Amino acid sequence: PGAAPTAMRRILPADLVERGGCPFDPPPGLRARRGRAPVQPLHLLNGAQAWLVTGFDEARAVLSDARFSADRIRHREATSLQPHEVAEQAAGTLKPGPAVETREDGFFVFMDPPEHTRIRRLLTGQFTVRRMRELESRVTEIAVEHIEAMKAAGTRADLVTAFALPLPSLIICELLGVDYADRAEFQERTSVGLNANSTAEERAVAGAELYAFMQRLVAAKRAEPADDLLSGLVHDADPPLTDAQLVDVALVLLGAGHETTANMLGLGALALLEHPGQLAALRADPSLVDNAVEELLRYLSIIQLGVSRVTTEPVTLDGVDLPAGATVVIATPEVNRDPRHWPDADLFDVHRPRVPHLAFGHGVHQCLGQQLARVEMQAGLRELITRLPGLRLAVPVEQVPLRDEMLIFGVHSLPVAWA
């Protein structure tokens, strides 16, 4: 009630968005379009023309070709998906601080090389093997703490609020160096944006507060550096990043690393519970978890229609002529089930041999946090299935509220029980 329609609802035809009977399969309308052609015109609800890519090879070609720009700020006159709409996809439903439409500071997801390269390099320098290894043991600790707290509190819980959301949220706090004392404030602001029932006003207020929070965090790291990623960015960058850039980079990491993993954990747990044979195989051999996570990434492809680009010049893609300024939307759930790429692509199979998928994108913008995301999912799911052997859904699967109106698909809540 009162919730503003999401970018998905305002812009994309309903049949591309609404799921059919199965919570894991792509919307039937999207599947029907895949049958037509791997690259095809797409009429958006705002009257604009775009193109939809449903084929694996075609999507990979787009994402590795510099003529398809990620810079929807510079090309905002041409593109039919405006930067704030893309930001809404990329950073959940938060629109933090000053207008994203014109902000070029540190939103590197909206940049092309060489501007993108500079910030990306600084960040990969901070995602060190040592830091990721330290985070790995923290991920397990946090997962165990939350599961044990669930068990201590009873025999039922909402797995989203009790586990799937707090785990990546606390890890982002550690990565950025948010103090324990400030975490409640930080989590409250972000949760307003993640809650589908928040009004547009509530989101705007939370977004502005989050922006101010990040400004204070950057100032604190400048004054007193610690051993965290944000301090590293403040002090190691040469030439230095401005405060506005640092705030944006921190907000990108928050948005990109929070809701994605949370939804993979929630929807991933549901997929396992709904495929008892696969779950039993994992319980019998927990060393399969890494493979299962890769298969869940492919099978669930939660970034539904969230990866898009705009052409900087006329391009012919799979025989289709695209003009300059064409918006191209990658249909990841279909791309990752391309029957030309995987046998029985619609089957969820934890034993499936690994073949590269596009759940983390491809090319220069390929997910920066993918190793961290994998660690969170592997440790999270491993602890969940081993510590809660009697885990089951507490409601009929049809009653689990799906996030099909959000660009990041998943479940709004997941009522579970255990013996």
Residues that bind ligand HEM (CB under 6 A): 70, 108-109, 120, 252-253, 256-257, 260-261, 264, 302-303, 307, 359-361, 365, 367-369, 372-373
Distance CA 201, CA 66 (A): 38
Q: Give me the least distance between CB of 194 and ligand HEM, in Å please.
A: 14
Q: Which residue number, 202 or 290, has a Cβ lying nearer to ligand HEM?
A: 290
Separation between Cα atoms, residue 256 and residue 264, nearest integer Å:
13
Least distance CB 389 / ligand HEM (angstroms): 25
User: 256 or 416: whose CB is closer to ligand HEM?
Assistant: 256
Report which of 113, 85, 116 is spatially closest to residue 99, judged by C-alpha positions: 85
Q: How far is the CB of 16 from ligand HEM (least distance, A)?
A: 17
Which of 170, 136, 167 has its CA nearest to residue 375?
Answer: 136
Question: From residue 399, how far is each of 19, 163, 203, 287, 415 by CA, in Å?
Answer: 14, 20, 27, 32, 10
Specify the residue, 23 or 257, whose C-beta has the smaller distance to ligand HEM: 257
State which residue, 42 or 262, has the beta carbon closest to ligand HEM.
Answer: 262
Q: Which of 194, 193, 199 is nearest to 4 (CA)?
A: 199
CB of 145 to ligand HEM, least distance (A): 19
User: Is 229 or 398 the residue whose CB approaches ligand HEM more closely?
Assistant: 229
For ligand HEM, give the closer residue by CB, 24 or 360. Answer: 360
Nearest approach, Cβ of residue 205 and ligand HEM (Å): 25
> Beta partners for 328?
51, 309
Shortest CB 104 distance to ligand HEM, Å: 14
As given in the structure block, the two tokens for residue 160 are 């989203």
* Main-chain dihedrals φ then ψ at residue 325, nearest 5 degrees: 80, 15
- For ligand HEM, which residue has the nearest CB? 369
Report whether 77 contacts 96 (CB < 8 A).
no
